[in-house]
Structure 1
C-alpha cells in the first residue's frame, strides 16, 4: 500500500501526520494473498462564507465530515476521497438545505482544496489543485498562496513583503485563489485594501519548507467582529527535501 507522499515524494510524512492528519491516499483491501490498491485523491474543505455559520459538504451524496464546518473553519486535514467526476453540494448543516452545487473531476493521487464562499443569496464552491509536486523542499524557501473570500467587487490591492522584497502587489478578484509563491522564511507583512471599506493588515511568520494558505475574510460593513474584514492563515504541510516525483 502506498501513500501519496510515497508516490510524489513532496510532503514529508512525519510532519504531515501532525499538520494534516497523516493522509493515506491509497487504501488496501486484502483478497486472499493479494493487496489491491484503491485509487484515491485528497481534499481539504473550508467554510469561508460569512453568511453561513455552519455548513456541511457532500461529495456525490456522501458527507465529508461528521461535524459542521463553522465560519472560518476547515477540515483540519486532507480527507481521502474517491477520484473521478464528483458532485459537490454545500448545505446548511442543521436545516440540510443546499445552497451551492457544482461538479469537479478529481484525479488520483492529487491534493485539492475546496473553498465555500459567498454571501446573501449567491454562493460558490471553488476547487483548486494543491500542486505540492511543483514546489521544492530543498531551496530554503517557504510558500504562500492567497484566497480572496471577501464578497466585494472592488478588486482590493493585495501587497505582501518579506525580507525587504515585495512578493505581491496586485488587485485580487473576489473568489480568486493564487498559485503558491516562494518566499524567504521569516516575517511576511500583508495588506489588503481598496482604500474604502476594505483595509486590513497582518504580519505572519513562515518557516522553511512549509506551504501556507492566507485567507482574506469577512464581509464589508459587518458589525459582527467575527465577520469583520480579517486575515487568517493555515499551514498546508511541510515539503520533503526531494524535488523529484517517484
Structure 2
C-alpha cells in the first residue's frame, strides 16, 4: 500500500508515540513496560525566569525554563490520572492542575501570568488529524496577557484580515489553515495594549502565536508582543 505524505506523517507520529517510554531513574517513575502519552511544557510568564514541571516524581523538563521558552520536545508520561505542578527556583509550587493522560495522545501545558497571579493551562492536541498534504500550514493564538479588557487579535495578510476576534485571557483559538509567507499580528484594546508584529510562516508547519507581556508598561522587554512557536517539535 502506498502512503501519501500526509498519511505517512501521521503514521510516523503514531509510531513515535507508541514507542516512547519513560526510563527508570532517580527522578522518573519506573514505567518501561508502559506505552506513553506525550507532554510538552511552556513558560510564558513575564516574571518567572526559572520554571520546572513535574508529575509526581517525574521531571518533565531538566533545568528550568526561562521566559519565554519550551521544553523543546515531548516527554513520555504514564497514561492515567496525575497532577501537573509548576515549581520555581526554590522548589515552591507556582500552580498545579489535574491531568488524565491517554495512550498515544499529545498534550501541551502553558504556565501563564505574572505578579503572583499564575495559571497552568493544559491542551489536548488534536491537530494530527488535519491535512497537511496541500502544503499549507496551521496557526492558532493564545492570549497570555493578564488584562481585564480582552484585546482584539487580527491576523493580516497583504492588508486583509484572515482572522479578527477578541481573545480573553488564557483563551486559545482553533487552528486555521494558512499559506506560507509574511503574517502581521495586531493586538489592541483600550487599556494599554497596542502591538504589531510581523511573523514568517513556513509551509507544512503547525504554529501557536503566543501573545504575552504586560499592558501599560514602558519596559521594552515586558511590553506586549506576539511570538511564534512551532508546535509538535521533535516529532520524526
Q: TM-score, normalised by structure 1?
A: 0.80
- Within 2, Cα distance between the matches of 1:9 and 1:108? 20
Q: Is the 8 A contact 1:89 1:100 kept in 2?
A: yes
Say yes or no: does 1:185 pair with 2:165. no
Q: TM-score, normalised by structure 2?
A: 0.83
Q: Which residue does the alignment assign to 1:142?
A: 137
Q: CA deviation at 1:184?
A: 1.7
- Within 1, Cα distance between the matches of 2:210 and 2:36? 27
Q: Which residue does the alignment assign to 1:200?
A: 195
- Which of 64, 82, 90 is matched with 1:68 structurally? 64
Say yes or no: does 1:95 pair with 2:90. yes
- Which of 141, 148, 162 is matched with 1:167 structurally? 162
- Which of 85, 96, 108 is matched with 2:103 structurally? 108
Runs of at least 5 residues in structure 2 that lack an aligned partner in the other structure: 1-6, 23-31
> Larger RCO: Structure 1 or Structure 2 (Cα < 8 Å, ≥ 6 residues apart)?
1
Q: CA deviation at 1:85?
A: 1.5
Q: Which residue does the alignment assign to 1:4?
A: none
SS of the residue 1:52 aligns to: coil
SS of the residue 1:76 aligns to: coil
Say yes or no: does 1:46 pair with 2:42. yes
Q: Do the aligned partners of residues 38 and 101 (structure 1) sit closer, same or farther apart at CA in structure 2, a change above 3 Å counting?
A: same
Q: Is the 8 A contact 2:38 2:106 kept in 1?
A: yes
- Which of 29, 53, 58 is matched with 2:54 structurally? 58
Q: CA deviation at 1:60?
A: 2.2
Q: CA deviation at 1:62?
A: 2.0
Q: Is the 8 A contact 2:43 2:66 kept in 1?
A: yes
Say yes or no: does 1:82 pair with 2:103. no
Q: Is the 8 A contact 2:94 2:118 kept in 1?
A: yes
The structure in which a higher percent of residues are strand is: 1
Runs of at least 5 residues in structure 1 that lack an aligned partner in the other structure: 1-7, 17-21, 30-35, 241-246
Q: CA deviation at 1:81?
A: 1.4
Q: Which residue does the alignment assign to 2:19?
A: 26
Q: Is the 8 A contact 2:17 2:104 kept in 1?
A: no
Q: CA deviation at 1:226?
A: 2.5
Aligned residue pair count: 218
Matches within 5 A, 1:114-133: 114-133=109-128
Q: CA RMSD in A?
A: 2.6
* Larger displacement relative to structure 2 (150-159 or 121-130): 121-130
SS of the residue 2:231 aligns to: strand
